[in-house]
């Protein structure tokens, strides 16, 4: 079966080499990414970053941002699975691509990487804003930090920031701890705290602020402190992932290789954390980590196998669901102890933590509450860095049938006795009355 499937997939891949779909587990290897550059030199100056993609099996298509032949889709089919915008200065894209095109691309479930820069164009800013990230409106401003800048040999450039304030998530940044600080040189952005979809991956230190480094600071900076985000990720509701960085240099070979010493700190690192940070983050963005799927939701009465169309109140039932995580190559069982199922009708009547068998199967059993109605089995699993699982399966719960109640109740025996003695008494009375004259 699997063999057949893979042959089929290979056939499709041969026949339609240019067509591709969104993140799909079946065709992980021929995922194509369109890289838009301001100029071709970026391709060489950021070669390590691109190389890491190619070694992981991605197919990169480099284009200049104003290349008139750029098009994301043909005949309604997307040609790429991912888009990397390393073109901070592009005022408009070539070909048919525009702001709406990029957003549609994201809304179709595909991934996006945006790197801005000191001279980021409105187009790049607009795309970021649409994704929930607001760059500093002052186009000349950069992030300046006088306390946690990166000490370099030649001069003290306070716009070259060394930050180690990462998001605390193994899913996003990998299980291996990033020891060295990440060197950042670029513009600040802020996030709307009410926006639950966007995450600050790398934030600035409390002493950072966003201002024009060339000019005198005349008014208080519009953004300051740890509200400044340097690198953010967005996970859209359809699980499309977006990486937005205020600095294109973050991905460059130069910063990958340079040593770093954070101001005020004694430790000098031979190599900055950039490479590890960016590579791990790109793995997350392109779904090599933290992508869950739930399959085969099953429920049935205890002791039965077939799924009923309806439960009765007070039935004992078993519920199970299988959850897997995509590892980049295959679906691995997802192991966690905090997956919960709700038995839900306007509010959860039952809320139970599912127990796992370590092989991806989560199951539990519970008693249907003494309330009838149309219930749902709901699994709402939203964890930092993971794709959200929102499963619901409708199931009606009916009251007892007329013959499912107890026929004789112990407490009612006085009444039974009463009526029987009444009948007997009436019978005796009738006989006495009729024949006793």
Partner 1 sequence: MAALENAKGTALRYACGNVLSFFILILIGVLAFSIRLFSVIKYESVIHEFDPYFNYRVTQFLTKNGIYDFWNWFDDRTWYPLGRVIGGTVYPGLTLTAGSLWWLLNSLNIPLSVETVCVFTAPIFSANAAWATYLLTKEVKGTGAGLTAAVVLAMVPSYISRSVAGSYDNEAVAIFALIFTFYLYIKTLNTGSLFYATLNALAYFYMVCSWGGYTFIINLIPMHVLLCIVTGRYSSRLYIAYAPLVVLGTLLAALVPVVGFNAVMTSEHFASFLVFIILHVVALVYYIKGILSPKMFKVAVTLVVSVGVVVCFAMMAVLVAMVASSPTKGWSGRSLSLLDPTYASKYIPIIASVSEHQPPTWPSYFMDINVLAFLVPAGIISCFLPLSDASSFVVLYIVTSVYFSGVMVRLMLVLAPAACIMSGIALSEAFSVFTRSIKFQMPKLLDDSDPVPGDITSGNSVVQSNQTKVEKHSAADKSEGTLKERPQKKSKKKEKEPLEKASIKSQIEKKLLVLPLESSVLAILLLVLLGAFYVVHCVWAAAEAYSAPSIVLTSHSHDGLHVFDDFREAYAWLSHNTEVNDKVASWWDYGYQTTAMANRTVIVDNNTWNNTHIATVGTAMSSPEKAAWDIFNSLDVKYVLVVFGGLVGYPSDDINKFLWMVRIGGGVFPHIKEPDYLRDGQYRIDSQATPTMLNCLMYKLSYYRFVETDGKGFDRVRRTEIGKKYFKLSHFEEVFTTHHWMVRIYKLKPLKNRIRGKTKKSKSSPKTSGSKKDERVKKNPWH
What residues line the site for partner 1 (CB under 8 A)?
91-92, 103, 106-107, 122-123, 125-126, 128-134, 137, 139, 191-192, 195-198, 234, 236-238, 240, 310, 345-346, 372-376, 394, 396, 398-399, 401-402
Closest CB 2 distance from partner 1, rounded Å:
32
The helix (run of H) or strand (run of E) holding residue 392 is strand 389-398
- Interior/surface letters 322-332, b for 16+ CB within 10 angstroms, e for the rest: bbbbbeeeebe
Give strand pairing partners of 260: 269
Q: Which is nearer to partner 1, 335 or 345 (CB)?
A: 345
Instruction: Name residue, tokens 């607001």.
Output: 134
- Angle at which helices 99-107 and 122-131 cross, to 10°: 30
Cβ-based nearer residue to partner 1, 151 or 395 = 395
The encoded tokens of residue 187 equal 């513009």
Q: In the complex with partner 1, which residue's Cβ is closer, 31 or 125?
A: 125
Write down the least CB distance from residue 123 to partner 1, Å: 7
Instruction: Please report, for residues 58, 140, 148, 265, the alpha-carbon distance to residue 209 in angstroms, rounded to integers and kept in the order given.
Output: 37, 13, 12, 20
Q: How far is the CB of 85 from partner 1 (least distance, A)?
A: 16
Residue closer to partner 1 (CB basis): 194 or 305: 194
d(CA 78, CA 69): 15
Of 295 and 374, the one with the shorter C-beta distance to partner 1 is 374
Task: State in angstroms the smallest separation of the CB of 23 from partner 1.
Answer: 15
Q: Rounded to the nearest whole angstrom, what is the least distance from the CB of residue 131 to partner 1 in the complex?
A: 5
CB of 132 to partner 1, least distance (A): 5
Q: What secondary structure letter does DSSP report for 307?
A: P
Residue 20: CB minimum distance to partner 1, A: 20
- Nearer to partner 1 (CB atom), residue 160 or residue 204: 204
Q: What is the DSSP string of 313-352?
A: TT-EEEEEEEEEEE-SSSEEE---S--EEEEEESEEEEEE
133 in helix, strand or coil?
Answer: strand
For residues 7 and 374, which CB has a smaller minimum distance to partner 1 in the complex?
Answer: 374
Count the residues in the chain: 437
184: its two tokens? 């950042």
Strands, E assignment, 346-382? 347-353, 355-356, 361-367, 373-381
């Amino acid at each position: 079966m699997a063999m057949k499937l893979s042959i089929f997939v290979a056939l499709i891949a041969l026949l339609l080499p240019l067509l591709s779909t969104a993140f799909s587990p079946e065709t992980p290897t021929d995922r194509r990414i369109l890289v838009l550059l301001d100029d071709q030199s970026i391709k060489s100056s950021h070669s390590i970053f691109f190389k890491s993609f190619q070694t992981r099996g991605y197919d990169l298509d480099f284009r200049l941002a104003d290349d008139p032949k750029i098009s994301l889709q043909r005949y309604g089919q997307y040609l790429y699975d991912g888009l990397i915008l390393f073109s901070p200065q592009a005022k408009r894209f070539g070909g048919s691509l525009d702001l709406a095109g990029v957003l549609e691309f994201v809304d179709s479930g595909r991934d996006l990487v945006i790197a801005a820069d000191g001279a980021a164009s409105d187009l790049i800013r607009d795309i970021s804003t649409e994704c929930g990230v607001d760059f500093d409106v002052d186009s000349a401003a950069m992030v300046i930090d006088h306390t946690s800048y990166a000490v370099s040999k030649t001069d003290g450039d306070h716009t070259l920031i060394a930050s180690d304030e990462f998001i605390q998530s193994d899913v996003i940044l990998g299980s291996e701890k990033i020891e060295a600080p990440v060197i950042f040189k670029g513009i600040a952005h802020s996030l709307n705290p009410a926006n639950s979809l966007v995450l600050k991956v790398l934030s600035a230190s409390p002493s950072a602020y966003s201002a024009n480094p060339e000019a005198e600071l005349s008014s208080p900076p519009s953004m300051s402190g740890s509200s400044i985000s340097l690198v953010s990720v967005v996970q859209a509701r359809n699980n499309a992932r977006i990486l937005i960085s205020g600095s294109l240099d973050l991905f460059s070979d130069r910063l990958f290789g340079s040593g770093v010493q954070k101001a005020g700190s004694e430790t000098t690192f031979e190599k900055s954390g950039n490479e590890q940070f960016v590579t791990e983050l790109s793995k997350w963005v392109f779904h090599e980590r933290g992508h869950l799927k739930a399959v085969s939701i099953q429920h049935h009465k205890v002791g039965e196998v077939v799924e009923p169309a309806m439960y009765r109140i007070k039935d004992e039932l078993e519920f199970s669901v299988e959850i897997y995580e995509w590892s980049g190559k295959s679906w691995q069982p997802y192991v966690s102890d905090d997956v919960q199922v709700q038995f839900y009708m306007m509010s959860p009547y039952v809320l139970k933590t599912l127990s796992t068998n370590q092989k991806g199967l989560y199951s539990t059993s519970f008693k249907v509450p003494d309330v009838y109605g149309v219930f749902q089995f709901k699994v709402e699993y939203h964890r930092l860095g993971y794709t959200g699982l929102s499963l619901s399966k409708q199931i009606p719960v009916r009251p007892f049938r007329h013959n499912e109640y107890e026929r004789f109740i112990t407490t009612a025996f006085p009444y039974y006795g009463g009526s029987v003695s009444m009948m007997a008494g009436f019978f005796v009375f009738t006989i006495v009355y009729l024949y006793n004259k």
